[in-house]
Structure 1
Amino acid sequence: MPPPPKNRSHAPAKAGQSRPPPRQPGRRMASRDAGERAAFFARREAATVLRRVLRGDASKRSGGSIKSLVFSPSVRNKRATFALVCQTLKYLPILKEVLASSGVFSSKWKKQEELVYVTAYDILFGQEIAVSGSVEEYIMLHKDTFRTALQKICVKRKVSNVEDLLSEKTTVKPKPRFVRVNTLKTTTGSVIEVLSKMHKVDKDDMVPDMLVLPPGTDMHKHPLVTDGKVFLQGKASCMVAAAVSPKPGWKVIDACAAPGNKTVHLAALMNGEGSIIACELNKERAKTLQHTVRRSGANNIETVIGDFLNIDSNDPSYAEVRAILLDPSCSGSGISTERLDHLLPSHSIDDQDDAGSSARIRKLSAFQRKALSHALSFPSVERLVYSTCSIHQAENEDVVSSVLPLASSLGFELATPFPQWRRRGLPVFYGAEHLLRTDPEDDLEGFFIALFVRKAAAADALEPSEDGGALGRKRKRACTTRSGGLRAFSSLRLSRMDVLCSIWGI
């Protein structure tokens, strides 16, 4: 019997030669197994997100946007999960038709319906990686049947490929990627230095510490983002906190704070000095808020899990609040693209046209009027920003117009944030030119901003104080005994009950 062949991988190297690395036949298989396991778990995370998205869409009660759900701390493989959710929603009408026409989609899979959709997309249109798992085995078993059904659908619709079956609503114009530098942790210059090695980076010409990157730039896993040195925040969203323009040392309320991007932006504008009370009613969203605060490094933010409307503005604890940011619950119609609402089954042009007069909008606007009226009632507030991410007049100009009598009686007037911005409020009442709107036509989200400034505070800011400083009578009035000041304010509120009743519709 001839001797067995030598194992060349262990043969000694000749002089002057380096020995080739030993063969590792299992490396490729191990890599493939790791890829299959990653795909397996990504499908299940995607199915969990998809279930919440579809149920929220069906009930008209969003449990969060696709992005907020995917990029929550509970999702581990965020990039793969996000891609799977978006692509499954994009192909969902086709997947449903294929499963229905194939005749093999039985009721026993109903409890795992979302996982079936995700897996069917991944195997039929995606990477076709399957591992052990009952749903994967089911899809692989009937894969040929599904593909035959898909071909029949294409023939019936007279199209040559699957992409022609997709709705035009899934096509969205790419927008620049805006990022905000968190100056609590780093400087704009150092971030530009890092990012410019891989991307074209421009500084925004209006919002401080805002950078503009090319459309499609993926920053979610970048160390600057994970370390909290950079926040993935749209320009319009950043304009809200910048319009508040809080001074270092002020006491500020963020009335409806989650997910917290505007809250930590306020902290950065205040150089981490003073204090911010961040209110959030929803306990789950409050967790996201707290996570955002921790990531930012801000140490002057107190999170309050509760309703802003339940805060007593007469409470001495809030007598020194100088600014309020009120960004209440709204329809989100201005960020439907960013939220990827165009991928949802309920989305259509008709839905958007009818939304402005829907019962939901009326309910939201009633809450918004009540919240804005309450924000105006804090005795020492000098600056108040009301903002929404809505395009509807009912949530924007109409809300502001309805509270103007009360605001005027309390010494407030509308000011003009970012006067260089060309797009202003709809001309539906005198003074609407002070309001600010952003629009997708500007490559931004659809936002609305109204800035209320107390006239007495604005006037006193120009008057010299007795010691030659710029504090003026404003600071002197703030030093008035709290009890007297609060009693006077309470009387003023009682004298305006007719105005409040008119605003709140009671």
Structure 2
Amino acid sequence: MSNDSYEIAAEALSLAEARRGSLRGILFSLKGKSGRNWKSVYALAHETQRFHEVLQAAIEECSPVEELCEGLRDRKLWWLVRVLCYDATIGSGRKKVRSRKGSIARIVSKNANVLVDAIEAQHGGQWHNRNDLLGNGDDAKGLPRYARINLIKGTRERALSIYREEGYEVAVDEHIPNLLVFPSGTDLHSHETVGRGEVILQDKSSCMAAEAISPQRNWLVLDACAAPGNKTTHLASILSSMGSTIRPCVLALDRDEKRFQILKDRVKNAGAEDLVQCTRTDFLSIDPASKPFCDVKAIVLDPSCSGSGLVNRVSVSKSSDEEHVKRLDKLAHVQKLLLKHALSFPNVVIVSYSTCSIYREENEMVVASVLGDDVFVSGAWGLSRALPQWKNRGLENTFDESQMCIRTDPVLDNTNGFFLARFERAQPTPGQVLSVGAESKSPLAKQPEPSIGKPMPNLTKAGSGRKRRAKAWRRGIRP
């Protein structure tokens, strides 16, 4: 393994921990820096993240390595220790590790056997498969692998034929017709269909925003916080399959330079360059009355959030309840500003608001606050029932129309934690906000500005007490 590979993997993990983006997105941004070793860096970072708790417990039983970590103030070096520990113990070969940070590598290599013994002691002896170290829960084994068909370049039938001929176990998702589902652990990153852009690796929950919009054929749709681009290319795929004749049919915005480059790369790989216009800018700086934004009919808004619904997200730092509450307060404030801005576009009739958070402060309370702002909304907007076939709805006792929203739960739904609300322009009596869904027409009670409460329990952990059926990845999908 290249010395640089260890350090780049550690850099990616430290950036993910600092909430600079998802680990996968950060790794893509470091692809040029990794060169030919990118696949090795990708695997190292993801596996170190996946086995972090196992590695941490082993380090605590190995005094020299634990003391080394306690003396490190640089989080990149802190993560470097864990990357090296992974490759020296759980990684294939359990080899002697080397790094340009020679003293760190020497301590890890010298104590590799002690670390292995500690891991074995945790799990009652030697392991035959490293996944055994993660326990028996489905969450530990990981979620199914989802792969979305890019209708700009391919078809579902062609992809299914290729995968089945090659012996893959694959099914079609029940709720999203062009989403394929594979067992957890299926690695498609180097598959030719992914390389050609015919198939895009995208979690099921992430696909729900574009599906909820349900755009008409020649709508112009705006993706307000577009990077890394999966929702953008999904919108382009849907509109292309409908025979959209307008160019571009998707406007994609993002303000971050590195993430914007990832967005452009993904749009190009998807063959969507003539369908999508990418612009590096802050969504809040856009004048809704200016061209081409005054012609937008629908907006996908998936703003920055806590990421608390992501099963595999790096989450190591221990913050106090007070710090956590302050952070949620800041996030919710920005989310409300973004949502109000989206609802101000003159010709927009549908807005999808979504987060990958489990916290009501970023979800139901943001929606309730914006809908309860009569000065701003003036009865022009309501909620329609997002994805009516989806059973898991918004949290009760948050606001009257919470059941119009949807939630996903890793344990119940085999996908990352996610929230979505579908706003639809309505024509109610001035001063009232109505639900415009098929199931409810009652006025939405005005809601006070929500206070930020204590965080909800982490729904992604395995100790929920629920028993899971065998082959859980097949639940909710059709063959």
> Superposed, which structure 2 residues align to 1:80-229 within 5 Å?
80-89=40-49, 90=52, 91-92=55-56, 94-95=58-59, 98=62, 100=64, 114-115=79-80, 117-126=82-91, 127-130=93-96, 139=105, 143=109, 145-147=110-112, 149-150=114-115, 172-197=140-165, 198-229=167-198
- The verdict on how the C-alpha distance between 1:333 and 1:119 changes in structure 2, with shifts beyond 3 A counting, is closer
Alignment equivalent of 1:67, drawn from 4, 20, 24: 24
Alignment equivalent of 2:280, drawn from 292, 301, 305: 305
What is aligned with 2:456?
A: none
Equivalent residues, number: 411
CA contact (8 A) 2:59 2:66 kept: no
Matched residue SS, 2:387: coil
What is aligned with 2:361?
A: 394
- The verdict on how the C-alpha distance between 1:167 and 1:223 changes in structure 2, with shifts beyond 3 A counting, is closer
Distance 2:45 2:185 in 1: 17
Matched residue SS, 1:430: coil
What is aligned with 2:234?
A: 265
Amino acid at match of 2:371: L
Distance 1:215 1:158 in 2: 22
Query: Structure 2 regions of 5+ residues with no counterpart?
Result: 429-445, 452-479
What is aligned with 1:384?
A: 351
What is aligned with 2:414?
A: 443
Amino acid at match of 1:417: A
Distance 2:363 2:303 in 1: 11
TM-score under structure 1 length normalisation: 0.71
Amino acid at match of 2:308: S
Amino acid at match of 2:286: I
User: By how many angstroms is 1:81 displaced?
Assistant: 2.2
Distance 1:94 1:232 in 2: 33
TM-score under structure 2 length normalisation: 0.74
Distance 2:20 2:266 in 1: 18
What is aligned with 2:455?
A: none
User: By how many angstroms is 1:403 displaced?
Assistant: 1.2
What is aligned with 2:339?
A: 372
- The verdict on how the C-alpha distance between 1:44 and 1:416 changes in structure 2, with shifts beyond 3 A counting, is same
Distance 1:146 1:131 in 2: 11
- The verdict on how the C-alpha distance between 1:146 and 1:326 changes in structure 2, with shifts beyond 3 A counting, is same
Question: What is the root-mean-square deviation of aligned Cα atoms in Å?
Answer: 3.9
- The verdict on how the C-alpha distance between 1:301 and 1:99 changes in structure 2, with shifts beyond 3 A counting, is farther
Matched residue SS, 1:172: helix
What is aligned with 1:480?
A: none
CA contact (8 A) 1:44 1:115 kept: no
What is aligned with 2:256?
A: 282
- The verdict on how the C-alpha distance between 1:119 and 1:236 changes in structure 2, with shifts beyond 3 A counting, is closer
User: By how many angstroms is 1:317 displaced?
Assistant: 3.3
Distance 2:15 2:285 in 1: 30
Query: Which protein shows a greater Rg?
Result: 1
- The verdict on how the C-alpha distance between 1:138 and 1:371 changes in structure 2, with shifts beyond 3 A counting, is closer
Matched residue SS, 1:290: helix
User: By how many angstroms is 1:321 displaced?
Assistant: 1.0
Distance 2:380 2:97 in 1: 67
User: By how many angstroms is 1:205 displaced?
Assistant: 1.9
Distance 1:77 1:420 in 2: 44
| Deviations 1:98-119 (CA, angstroms, capped at 9, x unpaired) | 3626989998998966545433
Distance 2:20 2:47 in 1: 20
| Deviations 1:211-230 (CA, angstroms, capped at 9, x unpaired) | 11222111111111111110
- The verdict on how the C-alpha distance between 1:136 and 1:456 changes in structure 2, with shifts beyond 3 A counting, is same
Q: Identity over the aligned pairs, expressed in percent?
A: 34
Matched residue SS, 2:317: coil
User: By how many angstroms is 1:246 displaced?
Assistant: 1.7
Greater relative contact order (CA < 8 Å, ≥ 6 in sequence): 2
Matched residue SS, 1:429: coil
- The verdict on how the C-alpha distance between 1:248 and 1:124 changes in structure 2, with shifts beyond 3 A counting, is same
What is aligned with 1:240?
A: 209
CA contact (8 A) 1:102 1:149 kept: no
Distance 1:345 1:106 in 2: 15
Matched residue SS, 1:303: strand
Write 1 or 2 for the structure with the bigger share of helix: 1
| Deviations 1:260-309 (CA, angstroms, capped at 9, x unpaired) | 00011011111164322111111111111111111111122111111101
User: By how many angstroms is 1:142 displaced?
Assistant: 8.1
Matched residue SS, 1:381: coil
What is aligned with 2:267?
A: 293
User: By how many angstroms is 1:175 displaced?
Assistant: 2.3
Matched residue SS, 2:140: coil
User: By how many angstroms is 1:80 displaced?
Assistant: 2.7
CA contact (8 A) 1:387 1:448 kept: yes
Distance 2:186 2:407 in 1: 26
Distance 1:109 1:357 in 2: 22
What is aligned with 1:18?
A: none
Amino acid at match of 2:19: S
CA contact (8 A) 1:254 1:277 kept: yes
Matched residue SS, 2:382: strand
What is aligned with 2:424?
A: 453
User: By how many angstroms is 1:364 displaced?
Assistant: 0.5
Matched residue SS, 1:403: helix
Matched residue SS, 1:426: coil
Amino acid at match of 1:188: R
- The verdict on how the C-alpha distance between 1:130 and 1:399 changes in structure 2, with shifts beyond 3 A counting, is same
Which range moved further: 358-367 or 67-76?
Answer: 67-76
Amino acid at match of 1:194: I
Amino acid at match of 1:51: E
Distance 1:359 1:253 in 2: 30
